[in-house]
Structure formats: C-alpha cells, structure tokens
Amino acid sequence: MIEVCPVCGNSDLYYEVGGYAGKVYHCKECGYMGAFVVEGNEEMVEKIREKYTREKEKGKE
C-alpha cells in the first residue's frame, strides 16, 4: 500500500505540520494541503492519476 495525494495521485508528500491537531500533508505536484491522503495499491493510484490528468486537460480547453 502506498500513501498518495487524493487529488493527483502523487506519492511525493511531506508533512506541513503535525502534533496535537494531527498531520497536514502537502503535495509537491499539485499543491494539495490537507489531513486526508489515500492509501492504495498501484491500480488505485493509476486511476487517481488518470482522473487528475483528464480534469487538468479539460480545464485547459
């Protein structure tokens, strides 16, 4: 299982803050910041990445 960004599927995350309030992750790819990350296998991660790419391309039109 891999922890990835729920927006773009990137695994390059780092802790922005942590402690009593919990962890807040920051994605280096899309800039997402939040406590929620997805823990999934390669198939799930690929689906997240495909969706992100489709939405990103759709936004350019």
pLDDT digits over 9-55, tens only?
A: 999 999 877 667 678 999 999 999 999 999 989 999 999 999 999 99
pTM above 0.85, yes or no: no
Cβ neighbours of 52 (radius 10 Å) = 18
Give residue 49's pLDDT. 94
CB 48 within 8 A of CB 9: yes
Hey, what are 7's tokens?
Answer: 């927006």
Instruction: Report phi then psi at 56, rounded to 5.
Output: -65, -45
CB 21 within 8 A of CB 60: no
pLDDT digits over 17-26, tens only?
A: 766 767 899 9
In the chain, alpha helices (H): 42-60
